[in-house]
Amino acid sequence: MTDLVCENLSMTFTNKQNGSVVEALKDINFTLKKGELLSVLGPSGCGKTTLLNAIAGFTTHTSGSIFLGGKEIHGPGVERGMVFQQGALFEWLTVAKNVSYGLRMKKTDPAFVKAEVEKWLDIVGLQGFGETPTYQLSGGMQQRVALARCLINDPDIILMDEPLGALDALTREKMQSLLLEVWKETGKTILIITHSVEEALLLGERLFVMAPRPGRIHKQYNLPFAERGLKETLREIKKDPYFGEVREEILTMIWNMEEEIMGRV
Q: What is the pLDDT of residue 209?
A: 97
Query: 163: domain CATH number?
Result: 3.40.50.300
Q: Which residues pair with 250 in a beta bridge?
A: none
Same domain, 244 and 197: yes
Q: What is the pLDDT of residue 264?
A: 56
Q: What is the pLDDT of residue 195?
A: 92
Residue 88 · residue 134 · CB < 8 Å: no
Domain end (from 109, 132, 154): 154
Q: What is the pLDDT of residue 25?
A: 94
Determine the structural domain holding residue 135 and report its residue range: 86-154
Same domain, 174 and 251: yes
Same domain, 150 and 160: no
Q: How many CA atoms lie within 13 A of 117 on its CB side?
A: 22
Summarize pLDDT for 168-179 with one digit per residue, the tens.
888 899 999 999
The pTM of this model reads: 0.91
Same domain, 229 and 257: yes
Q: How far is CA 156 from CA 78, 79, 188, 239, in A?
A: 9, 5, 7, 34
In terms of phi and psi (left: phi > 0; alpha: psi -120 to 50; beta: otherwise), the region of 58 is alpha
In terms of phi and psi (left: phi > 0; alpha: psi -120 to 50; beta: otherwise), the region of 62 is alpha
Residue 113 · residue 144 · CB < 8 Å: no
Same domain, 96 and 36: no
- What's the total number of domains in the chain? 2
The answer to whether the peptide bond before residue 214 is cis (omega within 30 degrees of 0) is yes
Domain end (from 154, 179, 201): 154
Same domain, 136 and 182: no
How many beta carbons lie within 10 A of that of residue 156, not counting itself?
A: 18
Residue 81: is it exposed, middle or buried by C-beta count within 10 angstroms (0-12/13-18/19+)? buried
Strand-strand pairing, 21-32 and 37-41: unpaired
Q: What is the pLDDT of residue 261?
A: 73
Under-70 pLDDT residues of the chain: 1, 87, 263-265
CA 193, 46, 198, 226 dihedral sign is positive
